[in-house]
A = this chain, B = another copy of it.
Amino acid sequence: MGVIQLNGVMNMISTKGRYALRVMIDLAQNDHGGYIPLKDIAEHQEISKKYLEIIVKKMVEGGLIEGSSGKGGGYKLLRKPNRYTVGEILTLMEGTISSVACLADKKYDCPRRKKCETLPMWKEFDSIVHNYLYGKKLSDLI
């Protein structure tokens, strides 16, 4: 699979987050009560199975899905699609979604915080992004 180069293009969401979302949609669409093997998802979605392994591992650890080994094994959702938000899926894969470092984590709190003219804007922006992503449910994408 060719490597995508992004010359001077700023991307907010990496393949990890986007692929995770597509795995979730696939699991929701093909839900039959049992487990769906990763091999099938990789084929549907045209994504390398090996790469997806890394992604679904995180998704299992994060409590989004459940895995089962052996014949008849695979992955399945743990909740109904309307019980997942896009925001929680992306946050699990990407880390805290924040426009700027000082808002992402207290440890990056900068000494200029009180006099920073841009901080209110970043806060407002983050709030808009947050509201959109956490307002969108997995069920909205199927």
Contacts and interface: CB of A to CB of B under 8 A. Distances in A.
Contacts of A4: 101, 108
A136 B121 contact: yes
Interface of A: 4, 6-13, 18, 21-22, 25, 46, 86, 94-101, 104-105, 108, 111-112, 117-118, 121-122, 124-125, 128-129, 132-133, 136, 140-142
A8 B92 CA distance: 9
B18 A95 contact: no
A117 B142 contact: yes
A91 B98 CA distance: 18
A9, A98, A128, A141 — most chain B CB neighbours (10 Å): A9
A5 to B, nearest CB: 9
Contacts of A100: 11-13, 18
